[in-house]
């Protein structure tokens, strides 16, 4: 007899109870192995699924010879726990919430996907389920990115759904994201003789003025309104209390509509701040919503809501870059993601499960 | 026979050679004991001097019953050595320099004082020589401040000369100095939804605009023109590349003419930046030049130059606060103080020695 090495996941639980069980299985980024093991163990022996493992990413797919294939993906890691596990239920204003790390981002969506993967033996489309590691950390560690490099063949598909929290609504595409460091230089001097030097901090005043006065655009892309933003997310400068500083830096984040490329975004920043040294420290293309695809339209109809734009960058952009239309669809309010009081309205979990089940079985 | 525990200082060397010897006796702040020991040893047995030691501060005074008493002081510590010891001589454009840490700030002045202390057995005024520790570090460690607390009686005097580098000119008084941290607050949010938050960095734009546009005053005090300055010496803000920051801080340094008090200076800052939280992190009153005193006028005449204002705050302000007119007078260009290429035109050392000797012996 072999000792069990990890607690089992019981996929026959209802999706809310399964969400609690998955949350109570901690899997902070870098520490996903036990949860990935449990997922593989829970799916073991299901004849309708082919299981592929890459590191702590688990792929499960049907091979039913359907005309179309849908990729349904979600990450299995969370940001660090901050005294917000184990989960608990709480009721406020008549609404029942499941509280705790991961309930929103995104173990509710993950639980729905795991349950449907096990139960949907005969879906109307072929499905490639992808549950991946390292989403909450540096992009170069991202399990989905690694899988795309190792096994690009697994990304064959006509439409993709990412289970990121979207209040159970369909959020299409995502804004692009660039971050730059703008620098000004001067000359050091003793601050008792400031006129001998040239103050680099004073020189960044126009950057802050322009940021404070900037009116971000809202750009319509394929029927969705993408609200942009341009923000200082950091500023630094200074040597000592008696020294005129010779360098100052403003760290600027531009979130831009998916009709624009990273190159367009950088051009815009160069137009706004032509006189500063500009170092690009992060760049990610946005993703068009892709809602003109017939499969996407069927899905939106099945979910029964007006699609909305996604502002935050998500891994839908990886699918978009591969030419696969992709949307976000999962339970939980994104404003509660990463919050210490992260909690999900449990009705959103059951709604997501029911909508997805209906669409995948042709009932909707 | 006892082993010598520290190299001896030979005060019969000429003042340039003695400067080199004192510089080659490292005494970075906190590590002045060996030099203080050597000073005490070098003066030992001189009948015209009473020696008092307080920590690593050495006081040597004459008690000749003269009508007037002059305090002549200098610090014995330096800022850290940066591969600029031992000293060496170098010649550029026909000028001979002594190069190395301390040559400017202020072991040239110290060497002149030590030599004259030993040699002037019959000065026309009584002299209290003070050589003190910990000038180059936090004000609460300053040896002169400690001595004023422990032995206020030693500060009796009609005029004070501090050997800080002043190019061998008389620099009167000093500007006052305040530093404040100005803060703005906002609300954190994910930078993908910047409009949910309130960006604190954007809110400090007006501080930098006002600093960049500010035109510092030049204020005449007792015939000397004190040039003021107002500078950002530091700036900080930012949580992470994807977070709208809820706090930003600008560290501002105001150097103000000695006709103004610290309270006046803070009022001015509050007028300039009324909408920000203001935390005072450093405050030091300036010192009026005090050149209307007859002893000061005699001294200026003996040195034979137009007195100038001192911009940097120095310990003359401690004497000024005690009601003793005080000036800076020492060899070395203050712009080279603390520099890695610190070096002194050796003619300034001999000039300072000769001027001070002439005045103290009644020859000038």
Asked if residue B1 has pLDDT above 50, the reply is: no
Nearest to A23 by CA among A356, A353, A329, A343: A343
Q: How far is B185 from chain A (nearest CA, A)?
A: 14
Report, in this order, helix, strand and coil percent for chain B, each rounded to 5.
30, 30, 40
Contact B241 A313 (CB under 8 A): no
Contacts of A267 (CB under 8 A, 6+ apart): none
Contacting residues of A for B250, CB less than 8 Å apart: 201
Tens of pLDDT, residue by residue over A91-123, are 999 999 999 999 999 999 999 999 999 999 999
Burial class (CB in 10 A: 0-12, 13-18, 19+), B69: buried
In this prediction, what percent of chain B has a pLDDT beyond 70? 98
Contact A235 B244 (CB under 8 A): no
For this structure, is B126 an active site residue?
Answer: no
Q: What stretch(es) of chain A map to CATH 3.30.70.360?
A: 176-284
Which residue of chain B comes nearest to A201, CA vs CA? B232
Residue B306, pLDDT score: 84
Catalytic residue among A105, A135, A171, A285: A135
CA dihedral A296→A302→A308→A309, nearest 10 degrees, is -30
Q: How far is A254 from chain B (nearest CA, A)?
A: 9
Peptide bond just before A16 cis, omega within 30 deg: no
Local structure of residue A142 (DSSP, 8 states): -
CB atoms within 10 A of CB A96: 13
Contacting residues of B for A203, CB less than 8 Å apart: 212
CA distance linking residue A55 with residue B65, whole number of Å: 90
Contacting residues of B for A202, CB less than 8 Å apart: 208, 211-212, 231-232
Which residue of chain A comes nearest to B211, CA vs CA? A202
Contact B231 A202 (CB under 8 A): yes
In this prediction, what percent of chain A has a pLDDT beyond 90? 80
CB of B245 closer than 8 Å to CB of B200: yes
Rg (CA), chain B: 23
Contact B234 A199 (CB under 8 A): no
φ, ψ (nearest 5 deg) of residue A154 = -70, -15
Asked if residue A11 has pLDDT above 70, the reply is: yes
Contacting residues of B for A234, CB less than 8 Å apart: 201, 237-238, 241, 245
Q: How far is A302 from chain B (nearest CA, A)?
A: 28
Domain boundaries B15-174+287-361, CATH class = alpha beta
Residue B9, pLDDT score: 95
**What does the block give as tokens for A156?**
């064959």
**Does the ipTM exceed 0.85?**
no
Which residue of chain B comes nearest to A338, CA vs CA? B190
CA distance linking residue A115 with residue A310, whole number of Å: 26
Q: Chain-wide mean pLDDT for chain A?
A: 94
Tens of pLDDT, residue by residue over A36-74, are 999 999 999 999 999 999 999 999 999 999 999 999 999
CA dihedral A45→A47→A51→A56, nearest 10 degrees, is -40
CB of B33 closer than 8 Å to CB of B90: no
Contacts of A297 (CB under 8 A, 6+ apart): A291
CA distance linking residue B329 with residue B71, whole number of Å: 12
Helix (H, G, I), strand (E, B) or coil at B217: coil
For this structure, is A285 an active site residue?
Answer: no
Which residue of chain A comes nearest to B198, CA vs CA? A231
**What does the block give as tokens for B321?**
């606060």
Tens of pLDDT, residue by residue over A176-231, are 999 999 999 999 888 999 998 999 999 999 999 999 999 999 999 988 999 999 99
- Identify the residue among A174, A188, A202 best suited for mutation to test binding to B, counting B beta carbons within 10 A and taking the highest: A202
Nearest to B313 by CA among B73, B131, B169, B135: B135
CB of A172 closer than 8 Å to CB of A327: yes
Q: How far is B58 from chain A (nearest CA, A)?
A: 28
The strand pair at B159-162 and B326-328 is best described as parallel
Residue B314, pLDDT score: 87
Helix (H, G, I), strand (E, B) or coil at B153: helix
Contact A212 B196 (CB under 8 A): no
Contact A255 B194 (CB under 8 A): yes
CB of A257 closer than 8 Å to CB of B270: no
Instruction: Look at the alpha carbons of B317, B318, B321, B324 in this order and tell me if their dihedral is positive or negative.
Output: negative
Q: How far is A150 from chain B (nearest CA, A)?
A: 29
Model confidence band, residue B5 (pLDDT cutoffs 50, 70, 90)? low
Candidate from A216, A231, A243 with C-beta closest to B244: A231
Which residue of chain B comes nearest to A334, CA vs CA? B190
Q: What stretch(es) of chain B map to CATH 3.40.630.10?
A: 15-174+287-361
Question: Which CATH fold topology does B176-284 show?
Answer: Alpha-Beta Plaits (3.30.70)
Contacting residues of A for B234, CB less than 8 Å apart: 201, 237-238, 241, 245
Contacting residues of B for A80, CB less than 8 Å apart: none
Catalytic residue among B32, B77, B228, B246: B77
Catalytic residue among A32, A54, A56, A77: A77
Asked if residue B3 has pLDDT above 70, the reply is: no
Which residue of chain B comes nearest to A212, CA vs CA? B202
Contact A232 B199 (CB under 8 A): yes
Longest dimension (CA), chain B: 81
Candidate from A191, A236, A312 with C-beta closest to B253: A191
CA dihedral B266→B267→B272→B278, nearest 10 degrees, is 50
Instruction: Look at the alpha carbons of A184, A189, A195, A196 in this order and tell me if their dihedral is positive or negative.
Output: negative
In this prediction, what percent of chain A has a pLDDT beyond 70? 98
Contact B238 A238 (CB under 8 A): no
Q: Chain-wide mean pLDDT for chain B?
A: 94
Residue A314, pLDDT score: 87
Tens of pLDDT, residue by residue over B136-145, are 888 889 999 9
Tens of pLDDT, residue by residue over A329-343, are 999 999 899 888 999
pTM: 0.80
Tens of pLDDT, residue by residue over B54-112, are 999 999 999 999 999 999 999 999 999 989 999 999 999 999 999 999 999 999 999 99
CB of B230 closer than 8 Å to CB of B211: yes
Model confidence band, residue A2 (pLDDT cutoffs 50, 70, 90)? very low
Contact B208 A205 (CB under 8 A): yes
Q: How far is B286 from chain A (nearest CA, A)?
A: 12
Residue B7, pLDDT score: 63
Which residue of chain B comes nearest to A227, CA vs CA? B193
Residue A138, pLDDT score: 79
């Amino acid at each position: 007899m072999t000792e069990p090495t990890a607690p089992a996941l019981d996929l026959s639980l209802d999706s809310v109870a399964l969400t609690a069980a998955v949350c109570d299985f901690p899997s902070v980024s870098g520490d996903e192995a036990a949860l990935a093991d449990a997922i593989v163990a829970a799916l073991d022996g299901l004849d309708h699924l082919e299981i592929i493992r890459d590191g702590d990413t688990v792929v499960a797919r049907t091979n039913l010879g359907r005309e179309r294939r849908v990729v349904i993906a979600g990450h299995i890691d969370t940001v660090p726990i901050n005294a917000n596990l184990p989960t608990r239920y709480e009721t406020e204003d008549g609404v029942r919430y499941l509280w705790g790390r991961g309930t929103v981002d995104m173990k509710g969506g993950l639980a729905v996907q795991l349950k449907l993967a096990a139960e949907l033996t005969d879906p109307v489309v072929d499905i490639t389920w992808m549950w991946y590691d390292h989403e909450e950390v540096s992009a170069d560690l991202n399990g989905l990115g690694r899988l795309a490099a190792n096994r690009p063949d697994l990304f064959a598909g006509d439409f993709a759904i990412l289970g990121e929290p979207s209040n159970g609504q369909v959020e299409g595409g995502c804004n692009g994201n660039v971050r730059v460091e703008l620098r000004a230089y001067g000359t050091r001097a003793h601050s008792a003789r400031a006129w001998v030097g040239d103050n680099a901090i004073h020189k960044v005043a126009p950057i802050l003025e322009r940021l404070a006065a900037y009116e971000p655009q809202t750009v319509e892309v394929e029927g969705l309104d993408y609200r942009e933003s341009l923000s200082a997310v950091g500023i630094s400068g200074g040597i000592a209390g008696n020294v005129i500083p010779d360098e100052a830096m403003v760290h600027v984040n531009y979130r831009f509509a998916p009709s624009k490329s990273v190159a367009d975004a950088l051009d815009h920043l160069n137009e706004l701040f032509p006189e500063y040294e500009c170092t690009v420290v992060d760049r990610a293309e946005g993703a068009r919503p892709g809602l003109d695809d017939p499969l996407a339209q069927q899905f939106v109809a099945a979910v029964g809501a007006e699609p909305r734009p996604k502002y935050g960058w998500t891994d839908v952009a990886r699918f978009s870059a591969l030419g696969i239309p992709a949307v976000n669809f999962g339970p939980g309010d994104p404003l509660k993601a990463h919050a210490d009081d992260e909690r999900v309205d449990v009705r959103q979990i059951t709604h997501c499960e029911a909508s997805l089940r209906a669409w995948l079985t042709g009932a909707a």
